[in-house]
Amino acid sequence: MLRRATTTGSSMLVVTALAVGITACSADPGDDGRGGGNAAESALAQPGRHSGLPEPCGAPAEERLRQLLPDADARTLRGEPHMTYDTGRRYGCDWVSSTGDASRTLTVDFLRVISYDPEVSDNDLAARDFAQRAESAGIDLDDGDIGSDRDAPRDGEGTDGTPPNSEDAGREGEDAAGNDPSPQGAEDELRPEGAYAPRALPGIGTAAYVDDRLADDGGRRDVSLVFHSANVIVAIDYSEALAGGQDEPDSEALQERVRALASQLAERFDN
């Protein structure tokens, strides 16, 4: 009797071990025990790199503000923040300075892009938004001339840089409202050509471009520089209106000031 019981017990142990082995082999290798597989989770788009935004009025360095707003007092340099209900999603600041010789305005706007499509990442959606903005400004980010290293003045390079030999610089494109291009020559006369024509810019954030337009009366120039760093889009708008009797605002000077600010802001997001 004892011998027979021992045999039966051994058989039961063998059957149990086989059942456990079969169960282990048939389990989903991607199951992490939390009710979902790793493979399914990895297929979902990852969240963007940036989970918040800096305070915009304090983001520009004082040195950069003084370059853009010469003779501005301390109160003006503090700026006026935009009204917003979600400072982690969109936040901006305005600076307005007026002196005897010129009036200048600066706007910095931060937008953190969030994708609600599980198959599209925040970073990818921000890249699409940025590309649409460039297209609306008439700037081809993929053009071999516009935005190439030889077309864009490098940091610290002013008029000493060799101007590009591109007939396509400043080409027409859709405006911000998505309208058809204006007739040839009607709008391009108000945009600079050569090294400072509207173009893509290397070396700032993930991607960047600059637009430059002169008002009809020639007394005001508007420079816009937009870049994105991963899932955050930064738009800088700068205007200078000179008092009557002066020459028109200079593209080179204004673009270099805006570019210096953009480089400084991009470093905040890259660090």
Q: What is the pLDDT of residues 212-243, one digit of tens each?
A: 999 877 789 999 999 999 999 999 999 999 98
Q: How confident is the model at residue 43 (pLDDT cuts 50, 70, 90)?
A: low
| Mean pLDDT, rounded, of the chain | 74
Is 271 a residue whose pLDDT tops 50?
A: yes
Residue 48: predicted pLDDT: 66
* Contact assessment for residue 244 and residue 219, using Cβ atoms and an 8 Å cutoff: yes
Q: Highest mean pLDDT: which of 97-101, 117-121, 263-267?
A: 263-267
Asked if residue 233 lies in contact with residue 44, where contact means CB atoms within 8 angstroms, the answer is no
What order do you get walking across the sheet with 232-242 strand by strand? 80-81, 90-98, 102-112, 232-242, 220-229, 207-214, 199-201
Look at residue 260 in the predicted model and tell me its pLDDT: 98
The answer to whether the CB of 214 falls within 8 A of the CB of 248 is: yes
List the structure tokens of 158.
């002013």
Residues counted in the chain: 271
| Per-residue pLDDT at 69 exceeds 90 | yes
Q: Hey, how many other C-beta atoms are within 10 angstroms of the C-beta on 82?
A: 17
- Are residues 174 and 233 in contact, defined by beta-carbon separation less than 8 angstroms? no
Buried b (16+ CB within 10 A) or exposed e, 150-181: ebbbeeeeeeeeeebebeebbbbbeeeeeeee
pLDDT at res. 219: 85
Structure tokens at 251: 């593209």
- In sequence order, what E strands does 1-87 have? 80-81
Taking only the tens place, the pLDDT of each residue in 150-197 is 333 333 333 233 333 333 333 233 333 333 333 333 344 488 888 899
**Cβ of 40: how many Cβ atoms within 10 Å?**
11
What are 181's strand-pairing partners? none
User: How far apart are alpha carbons 59 and 79 in whole angstroms?
Assistant: 11
Q: Where are the beta strands (DSSP E) in 25-115?
A: 80-81, 90-98, 102-112
pLDDT of residue 200: 96
99: pLDDT strictly greater than 60: yes
pTM: 0.69
CA 115/CA 2 separation, integer angstroms? 70
| 207-214 and 199-201 beta bridge pairing | antiparallel
Bridge partner residues of 96 (DSSP): 105
Contacts for 163 with CB less than 8 Å, ≥ 6 apart: 194, 195
Return the SS3 of 37: strand
